[in-house]
Structure 1
Amino acid sequence: MKKLSYLLCALLLVGCKDASQDNGKLNVVTTTTMITDMVGAIGGDAINLQGLMGSGVDPHLYKPSEGDVSKLQDADVIFYNGLHLEGKLVDIFEKMEARDKNAIAVSDAIDKSTLIGSEYFASNYDPHVWFDTDYWISMSRLVAQELTAADPENKETYEQNLANYISSIEELAVELKQIIDDLPAEKRILVTAHDAFNYYGRKFGFEVVGLQGLSTATEAGVQDVQNITQFIIENDIKAVFVESSVPRRTVEALQAAVRAQDREVEIGGELYSDALGSAGTAEGTYVGMYKHNVNTIVNALK
């Protein structure tokens, strides 16, 4: 990490490329797949977009390569989550901001007093804010604003794309509520590999329990498994869920622990928490990911 930070400092001294390089489009770099989807929808064909993280990548543990540093150096605008989600990249972004590099934390669009607190992150907040659709709309507006500031000639394109994207999120929120309304309130208990779904739980009335806490950098211990095993039995929970960016073994150990108590709990399916699905699939978009998650949860818990 020190080597990368040193390399970044050296690269920044060379100076930034302007927006007229290559094909004349704005060069934009994003971190997580969710942000890449958002920026791609708003920027459209007006930008050159590169996302650092792919499907199934855990941003909590992601370590930047020298190639990533080069992408960041060549960018005109960088969008990242903030709130210490991208823990290994924090030092790099702070150094870039200190040198007036245009690195934007999309979570800056959110009123911090409304966030869920967390002792696991230096920001003191739960960073999984994309599971609140209202937050996602606010962050989308910030993205459009920053793209327009960097590239005012394409203002109308960014504004129209933003309007379309917000419309899709608003329609999504309505559809999700209709699906969840079919699930009785007493069955709305979500047990997952790590505690990424608190904003989802707050928005749709779920009690959320994660084996590994908010960050996958913290491993679940034997006591955690035992405690949640008793919780599952006491609440007669029918299904628990694995996540695409978190190894299955901890949830499978939980399932085995429940079985050792002469009870059964199914693995209800795979959820997308810290990363979208594969590019080119429905789950590879924010809207498709959220629909998949809610349908998987509701179908398993019903």
Structure 2
Amino acid sequence: MAPLSPAQAQERLNIVATTGMIADAAHQVGGERVEVRGLMGPGVDPHAYRQTRTDILAMMRADLVLWHGLYLEAQMESFLRGLEARRRVVALAEFIPPELLIAHDTYKDHYDPHIWMDPELWQKVVGAVRDVLIEEWPEHEAEFRANAEKHLAQIAEMSAYAKQVLATVPEGGRALVTAHDAFNYFARAYDFEVLGVQGISTESEAGLNRISELVDVLVQREISAVFVESSVSDRNIRALVEGAAARGHKVEVGGQLFSDAMGRGGTYEGTYIGMIDHNVTTIARALGGEAPERGMHGRLAAGS
């Protein structure tokens, strides 16, 4: 008789995921059949995150390690590649065909990793999670497929909501000024322009020239709102506000967006659907569009 797989020998599949978005997808698809541990919590920048001793131990003991890939977890990449010889380690974003990705602004043959900002692209990651779980535990294929279909329908509903409310933002006001270029897929999906202080990675430096250039844009185009990010320092965004004020143009912080990490665990904003709902609703309302104050189904935290 063939030996039992780790999943068959226990009640749940032990999964370690790097980002909160990946952890949420694994939880949604795996349901009661999985135990998911996410390494990066709220406010954590995956570009700069380095694995701790506790993380290493958790990954070594896991049945399955899921990570994003596309060089998002830049400081963990060599460790995760090396771990492939000892554990099932899957870079989920790398299942997406290159022709659907946005090329990196600096490095040849690299791509912008922030694909979760386009729900229709994120559906492909959820599909990849489904397929990997089925490979790991084929006895529960029907359950994994049913869970995935339910979550994919939720994402499709969110995508439709996003298109509806973001279309109400006046065309001349569809400029999204943020700390770094995490919203390029969002911009492509919803016909916005992204003006990031830093590049795709938060590791890039934001020089005084770049800040001065963006202040010029804010003043010349009369952009009235900029956005801070939950996982990136607001220092540069505050510099933009102050620079515009010095030139007689008032710019407000339109809200805090979830860029590279979701909200607190146990909250609606701590799920992928809640994360996108928060971002879409905040952006639409701050830039002159129409969106319900509490989001798609009234679940956003008051004042979020």
Partner of 1:24: 11
Q: Indicate conservation of the 8 Å contact 1:84/1:122, yes or no.
A: no
Change (3 A) 1:151 1:123: farther
1:175-219 deviation line (CA, Å, top 9, x unaligned): 111111211111110000111000000000000010011111112
Q: Equivalent pairs: percent with the same residue?
A: 39
Q: Pick from 73, 94, 108: which aligns with 2:60?
A: 73
Partner of 1:220: 206
Task: Give the secondary structure class of the aligned counterpart of 2:198.
Answer: coil
Q: Indicate conservation of the 8 Å contact 1:245/1:273, yes or no.
A: yes
TM-score with structure 2 setting the length: 0.90
Partner of 1:11: none
Q: CA RMSD in A?
A: 1.6
1:31-88 deviation line (CA, Å, top 9, x unaligned): 0111111111001110111111101110001011011011111111111110000011
1:14-38 deviation line (CA, Å, top 9, x unaligned): xxx9515884321111001111111
Q: Distance in 2 between matches of 1:43 and 1:180?
A: 32
Q: Indicate conservation of the 8 Å contact 1:212/1:220, yes or no.
A: yes
Deviation at 1:273, TM superposition (A): 0.3
Q: Distance in 2 between matches of 1:125 and 1:100?
A: 27
Question: Which structure has greater helix proportion?
Answer: 1
Give 2:286's aligned amino acid. Answer: A
Give 1:63's aligned amino acid. Answer: R
Task: Give the secondary structure class of the aligned counterpart of 1:216.
Answer: coil
Partner of 1:197: 183
Q: Indicate conservation of the 8 Å contact 2:105/2:199, yes or no.
A: no
Q: Indicate conservation of the 8 Å contact 2:15/2:62, yes or no.
A: yes
Partner of 1:103: 89
Q: Indicate conservation of the 8 Å contact 1:76/1:102, yes or no.
A: yes
Partner of 2:101: 115
Q: Indicate conservation of the 8 Å contact 1:43/1:147, yes or no.
A: yes
1:224-267 deviation line (CA, Å, top 9, x unaligned): 11000001111110100000000111100111111111111111
Change (3 A) 1:271 1:219: same
- The alignment status of 1:139 with 2:103, answered yes or no, reads no
Give 1:69's aligned amino acid. Answer: I
Change (3 A) 1:122 1:146: farther
Q: Distance in 2 between matches of 1:119 and 1:176?
A: 26
Q: Pick from 27, 33, 58: which aligns with 2:20?
A: 33
Residue ranges of structure 1 left out of the alignment (5+ in a row): 1-16
Q: Pick from 224, 233, 237: which aligns with 1:247?
A: 233
Q: Indicate conservation of the 8 Å contact 2:7/2:136, yes or no.
A: no
Partner of 2:294: none
Q: Distance in 2 between matches of 1:21 and 1:148?
A: 13
Instruction: After TM superposition, list the pairs within 5 Å mapping 1:1-302 onto structure 2.
Output: 19-20=6-7, 23-97=10-84, 99=85, 101-120=87-106, 124-302=110-288
Of 108-117 and 284-293, the range deviating more from structure 2:
108-117
Change (3 A) 1:39 1:219: same
Partner of 1:14: none
Q: Distance in 2 between matches of 1:165 and 1:91?
A: 32
Residue ranges of structure 2 left out of the alignment (5+ in a row): 289-304
Give 1:73's aligned amino acid. Answer: M
Deviation at 1:103, TM superposition (A): 0.8
